[in-house]
Amino acid sequence: MTMSRMSKSGTSMILGSLCLASVLGGGGCTKAAPSNEEAPALAPPDEANTRAKGEQGFLANDGKQEAQAGKYDVRGGDMTRAPGDAPAAAEKAKAGGGAAAPPPAPTQALIPPAANDAPTIDPNGRFATTYRPGGGHLAAFESAVARGIIPPGERELVSDVGARYVTGFEVPKGKALGIQAGLERGKLPPSGSPFHLRLTLKSSSDKPAERPHLSVHLVLDVSGSMQGESIKQAREAASALVDKLAPSDDFSLVTFSTDAEVKIPDGPVGARREAIKKVIAEIKEGGGTNISSGLELGYAQAETKSIPEDAVKVVLLLSDGRANSGIKSASGISKLALDAFQKGIQTSTFGLGADYDGALMSAIAEDGAGGYYYLRDAAQIAPALGTELDKRLDPAATAVEVRVRLKKGFDLLKVYGSRRLSEAEAQRVRAQEVAADEQAAKRDNIKQDRKEDNEGGMRFFIPAFAAGDSHALLFQLRAGAGVGKGQLALVELKYKDRISKKNVTEEFPVDIEWADSDAASGATIDGSVARTIQGFAAGETLARAAQNVAGGDKQYAISLLTERETILREAAKTLEEPLFLKDADRLARMREHAAQSTGMGDPLLFAMLLETASRSHLR
């Protein structure tokens, strides 16, 4: 496919959708968004690795430093080399099958600070989680593919690769969720060192005996910006949605442009199905985009008194997402979604076509505890709705919280792909937890147990965990000198089991041991955890490279990719993981793009490519 030409302003339109923030504030943007608490922009390249204590960014160090001339310690996710050895790294990358490396940045810029000097993070508070259903992390990229800006063949560079580095395990019989801890080393060096802890969550593929009663409220954008293919796709999406619902499910339809209107009031689908689809087929576009008014009417329909108390209420927003009437700020509109969730109403967003505002749609879905989807064409609608109705709206567990309490003597250096939430963000998450607690009591008759907010430890909250799914949390920690055995942390998993209809709380210790020598410690490396570290570290490298490209320093970004490519090729041999070679080849292709000034080498498109690939690794 030939790369179509595009102006900077046209590319900026796509990059406006690139705030691929993780659920509950866990992500960032390669293009600066207006500064507010709900959507914090990434720090400038020279500040991204030096955030204040308690604000977790992408720290430059990814693992243990063992300085050896020309040698690489790939087990901890990083490499170290002697000054002046950067050209050797480039030659090694070239010999390994990748593209020839460009002249690297100064060596000292490539060597991360020693992990023993890395700043610590307060291990008490709420942290962002990267778990999220839907394809939000690919939305902006797919939008660019749909418009012909990016060739379809580039999808391979952003494919979902991170999950393959996480080991599987069996969920205990009769439980909705299982959790497993893994340490990078079975025994630490006697003098202590940085190390990694991995926590893996996995859900049962079993589902509740009956699908819940669904109360679905469609809020459809019919503004002038939806003209042409977008309004056509919106009508097809709405009609397909109605076909998915059971006769007993509730449905309403609200349309909005400059103002909002209830086209179909709430009620069971039943005999109304064809009449509903007829109304949808006759919808015309025109006017402004007043998303806030549309959502307000949709939420009012979801509060209709005739809806059963145990129904799963969800508002589905289908829009190009560019608010120019009513409330215009992302924070103001997403606040409506948070307020609705506290009343038991979830909000999921579906970005249509190629021009929607991804940052806004992402924020609404985050505060509404819903899914975020990009619908490139009608063929994608059925799979997206299938995910929404079958997996996300009928999860294995809800109100999931993982809490990690570190013992004295251990420091927190990093939570990969995450950060410590601000006070305002933490309050929003707390509101979601209380709402999820109340909803579980109504829908599944599971007793409320979250009225009191027990503080302490690192806390990760997930409103709902899909059946047959998995997720990993990766921590970089630091231990001092020690002998014998000790306890590293207490891990607590709390959730509402929708299969057994009860509250579940599990707590278990994570023990640790110090070896008698460095050599004895090195012999206890866990290959599975080491592979996970490599996958996550590659994701953070891609994110840092995206930051630098967005900041105008493409050359430094190329150096980061060169460095990570070399690490992955070494890791493929050291850890006996051939898939690392495939990832290294992907980075080589990215460097080839970076050497160009047009096409995929355009800074805005290249930043998008890097950011999307990063999110795929960190999922």
Domains and CATH numbers, the chain: 214-392 (3.40.50.410)
| Mean predicted confidence (pLDDT) in 239-244 | 88
- What pLDDT shows up at residue 136? 55
Q: Are 335 and 367 in contact (CB under 8 A)?
A: yes
Q: Which residues contact 130 (CB under 8 A, 6 or more apart)?
A: 22, 23, 26, 27, 417, 418, 471, 618, 619
Tell which wins on pLDDT, 465 or 379: 465
Mean pLDDT of the chain: 78
Q: Is the pLDDT of residue 6 over 50?
A: no
Report d(CA 361, CA 383) in Å as an integer. 19
Tell which wins on pLDDT, 426 or 142: 426
Model pLDDT for residues 196-215, shown as the tens digit of each residue: 999 999 999 887 777 788 99
24: left (phi over 0), alpha (psi -120 to 50) or beta: left
Report d(CA 294, CA 288) in Å as an integer. 12
Residues in the chain: 619
Report d(CA 475, CA 404) in Å as an integer. 10
369: which strand partners? none
Report d(CA 610, CA 199) in Å as an integer. 26
Q: Are 29 and 41 in contact (CB under 8 A)?
A: yes
- What pLDDT shows up at residue 29? 31
Model pLDDT for residues 557-605, shown as the tens digit of each residue: 999 999 999 999 998 888 888 888 988 999 999 999 988 888 888 887 8
Tell which wins on pLDDT, 90 or 537: 537
369: left (phi over 0), alpha (psi -120 to 50) or beta: left
Tell which wins on pLDDT, 457 or 575: 457
Model pLDDT for residues 263-310, shown as the tens digit of each residue: 999 999 999 999 999 999 999 988 889 999 999 999 999 999 999 888
- What pLDDT shows up at residue 72? 39
Q: Is the pLDDT of residue 314 over 70?
A: yes
| Pairing outcome for strands 485-497 and 397-406 | antiparallel
Tell which wins on pLDDT, 605 or 317: 317
Report d(CA 196, CA 78) in Å as an integer. 12
- What pLDDT shows up at residue 403? 98
Residue 250: band (very low, low, confident or very high) from pLDDT cuts 50, 70, 90: very high
Report d(CA 456, CA 68) in Å as an integer. 40
Residue 24: band (very low, low, confident or very high) from pLDDT cuts 50, 70, 90: very low
Q: Which range (84-98, 282-296, 403-417) has the least confidence?
A: 84-98
| Mean predicted confidence (pLDDT) in 510-533 | 93
Three-state secondary-structure class, residue 592? helix
| Mean predicted confidence (pLDDT) in 477-481 | 96
Give whichever of 135-139, 235-239, 493-497, 612-616 has the largest mean pLDDT.
Answer: 493-497
